[in-house]
Amino acid sequence: MPHVSSLGNYNPVVSVYPDAKVASIDIAQRIASLIRSNHQSGKQTVLGLATGSTPIYVYEELVRLHREEHLRFKDVVSFNLDEYFPMQPDSPHSYVAFMQKHLFDHVDINPDNVYIPDGTHPRESIEDYCRTYEQKIGDLGGIDIQLLGIGRTGHIGFNEPGAEFDSQTRLVELNDLTRTDAAAGFGEKEQVPTEAITMGIDTILKARKIILMAWGKGKAAIIKKMMESDLTPDIPATFLKTCERVELVLDTEAASDLRKE
Ligand code: PGA
């Protein structure tokens, strides 16, 4: 692994919007433009998708664009960042269920073009499975736009503190704070799985465009930390600063602790 001090450190573009909805509509419109222009040149669009509360408005706007403005998903391929492990796809807690509810059930994407890490894969061959997931992204030409949220631990996907810069898709343990934050959805923390399959930092950084979104005051502290800390596995999102294709899209509250230049 390259030593972190030898990595580039860019100041990512930071776009601040009055609120999450306006920001999300803009992101969805950018995704739609790419899908349309790729379609015109006969190309597929490969999206890297995220779950959690953060991307919900983006999906809402994509569904609206499909319903009202003829945006087609026939030549869209999607790869989700992560899934709990173990997790049955028909569980209401699965990210499969989340994606169906918020996007896939409402657009004309081909189910064969939807990739979400398989929370039912046998543990003994999980490494091979993860390698195949990684390879599939490459075989399809790489991710055009990767959407990201950020956890209060500084995780992106489920790359928790300690994740390495060159990490790839793999089985990981979830951080305690992440499980606490997920507890409400599961009823109680003890019900939240302790592991997950996640794309790695390296997987994410290979995307041609990476948009990290954060909304609300609850994200202000981690956004400040990410922007002001040196690159460190303790705050995995800091590794995004090695890549000039990264953009932070924030609402005013999430941006409120950033130093004004
Ligand atoms: P959230 O989670 O969108 O529910 O805030 C973000 C994340 O953990 O990546």
Helix (H) or strand (E) holding 189: none
What does the pLDDT look like over 231-247, one tens digit per residue?
999 999 999 999 999 99
What does the pLDDT look like over 213-222, one tens digit per residue?
999 999 999 9
Question: Which domain does 59 fall in, by range?
Answer: 12-251
Instruction: Using CB atoms within 10 Å of the CB of residue 97, give its burial: 0 to 12 exposed, 13 to 18 middle, 19+ buried.
Output: middle
Cβ < 6 A, ligand 1 pocket: 52-54, 149-151
In a domain, 48, yes or no: yes
Q: Cα of 151 to ligand 1 centre, how many Å?
A: 5
In a domain, 7, yes or no: no
In a domain, 229, yes or no: yes
Nearest to 170 by CA among 129, 142, 137, 140: 129
In a domain, 258, yes or no: no
> What pLDDT was estimated at residue 11?
81
On the question of pLDDT at 174 being above 70, the answer is yes
Number of domains in the chain: 1
Which residues is 206 bridged to in the sheet?
none
What does the pLDDT look like over 39-85, one tens digit per residue?
999 999 999 999 999 999 999 999 999 999 999 999 999 999 999 99
CB atoms within 10 A of CB 16: 15
Q: Cα of 51 to ligand 1 centre, how many Å?
A: 7
- Catalytic: which of 160, 188, 253, 261? 160
Q: How far apart are CA 182 and CA 177, in angstroms?
A: 9
> What pLDDT was estimated at residue 3?
59
Backbone angles phi, psi at 7, to 5 degrees: -85, 155
CATH number of the domain encompassing residue 66: 3.40.50.1360
Question: Which pTM does this prediction carry?
Answer: 0.96
In a domain, 2, yes or no: no
What residue owns the CA closest to ligand 1's atom 7? 151
Backbone angles phi, psi at 45, to 5 degrees: -115, 130
In a domain, 6, yes or no: no
The answer to whether 169 and 151 have CB atoms below 8 angstroms apart is no
Q: Cα of 40 to ligand 1 centre, how many Å?
A: 34
